[in-house]
Amino acid sequence: MRRFFWPSLRRPLPVFLTPIPCLHVPVGRIAAEFIVKGCKMGRGRFQALPRHASSGMIVFFPTYARCTAAGWTATVAGMVTRPLPERSRRRVLAVAVLRRLLDLDDAQVESDVFRRRAEVFLFRRLAGERIRITVGDRVIDAGISDRSGHFQARVEFADGFAADSAWPRSAGGATVEYAGTTVDGDPDSGPAVTATGRIHLVEETGTSVISDIDDTVKVTNVADRRELLRNTLVREFMAVEGMPEVYRRWHDAGAAFHYVSSSPWQLSDCLCRFLGAAGLPAGSMHLKLFRLKDSTPLGRLPSRKRSKRRTIEQIMDDFPARRFVLVGDSGERDPEVYAAIARRRPEQVAGVVIREVPSKASRAKVRERLVKLARRLPADSFTVFQKPDELADLQSLQ
């Protein structure tokens, strides 16, 4: 397949349609004391301000809060963007390249699925936007978006926060929703942009599942680049048969979930909606910061394994007393990444679970590769499966 580079597009492309927010539940009233320590940027949905040519949005990335000596700490992050104008040259060029790359006809280009998915890659990141977030009756300054449109704010709250949360505790922990708003000093600038975000409260001890997304819980076919692009941009997302049932069973047994994937951050809203529709447990989401100028158009969605390893180890550092089950697939480098982490952190890794998927390599070679990795780990700590019904209950993996 021919690869198309866009040498003239030195910045990420703006979105041309506004995504549907993945959270719709009203924010509850929460009595808690917050302290903001540093900021960077955020993403959420917002309606256009008159000073902008078209509507924009804020998208918040699903995150977690961890227990500290003073109570709880969470990092709220996201991105502020503005869609490209409908007749923007960059937008027209981007759609034309994707159309040729995927060999799409007129009906596919005009389809609701393609427009919703392509839109999240066709935007301009907005710098200098001040964001405030609201949890219950508390209003927090989350700082100003940087030149890439992102912001990040560290938030600390008192220990009574969890007890006062609007979301009751479940087996997998409590969940708190918050609202975000853009702030403009000009009273004539029009309505502020608003969005919602979610924080998952994760206890100090217990079991966490760190899961890949593509070809682990969602059918993507990463091994075939054309199919990968079609499954990302043209087709409705589809869950791997049987995985929602397995994950719900683990969630009911008390597991918290962290989704660590090489999918780009731009798909976070789409993936949130997919998880909910498929019946997969909600959890924090850790995706790749992806820009079209970094590669061929979506042609190399998977990030380097070092980046994924660092993200997983950061989660483990935040929860040193928890046990982790690492779930991925054989299509990319999940087995090698997970095995390396398990060797370095045997006291934290309860098990590695790999879904065997078709690849360019023969099945014999894939099996040989997985057997070699399994030999480096304690017996029964490296599980390979093809059908989810082969997986044991969570307790058996610990």
pLDDT band at 249 (very low <50, low <70, confident <90, very high): very high
For range 93-122, the mean pLDDT: 90
Q: Is 258 exposed, middle or buried (0-12, 13-18, 19+ CB in 10 A)?
A: buried
Lowest mean pLDDT among 75-84, 247-256, 280-289, 294-303: 294-303
Q: Domains along the chain?
A: 1-202 (no CATH), 206-397 (3.40.50.1000)
| Confidence at residue 310, expressed as pLDDT on a 0 to 100 scale | 94
Q: Which residues pair with 304 in a beta bridge?
A: none
Categorize the per-residue pLDDT at 337 as very low, low, confident or very high, splitting at 50, 70 and 90. Answer: very high
Q: How high is the mean pLDDT of the chain?
A: 79
Identify the pLDDT of residue 177: 86
For 202, 218, 277, the CA distances from 309, given in Å and listed in that order, are 20, 21, 28
Q: Is the pLDDT of residue 110 over 80?
A: yes
- What is residue 188's predicted lDDT score, i.e. its pLDDT? 44
Beta-strand relationship, 322-329 and 175-183: unpaired
Is the model's pLDDT at 313 over the cut of 80? yes
3-state secondary structure the chain: CCCCCCCCCCCCCCCCCCCCCCCCCCCCCCCCCEEECCCCCCECCECCCCCCCCCEEEEECCEEEEEECCEEEEEEEEEEEEECCCCCHHHHHHHHHHHHHHCCCHHHHCCHHHHHHHHCCCEEECCCCEEEEEECCEEEEEEECCCCCEEEEEEEECCCHHHHCCCCCCCCCCEEEEEEEEECCCCCCCCCCEEEEEEEEECCCEEEEEECCECCCECCCCCCHHHHHHHHHCCCCCECCCHHHHHHHHHHCCCEEEEEEEEEHHHHHHHHHHHHHHCCCCCEEEEECCCHHHCCCCCCCCCCHHHHHHHHHHHHHHCCCEEEEEEEECCCCHHHHHHHHHHHCCCCEEEEEEECCCCCCCHHHHHHHHHHHHHCCCCCCEEEECCHHHCCCHHHHC
Range with top average pLDDT, 157-166, 198-207, 238-247, 284-293: 238-247
pLDDT value, residue 12: 37
What pLDDT, on a 0 to 100 scale, did the predictor assign at position 120? 86
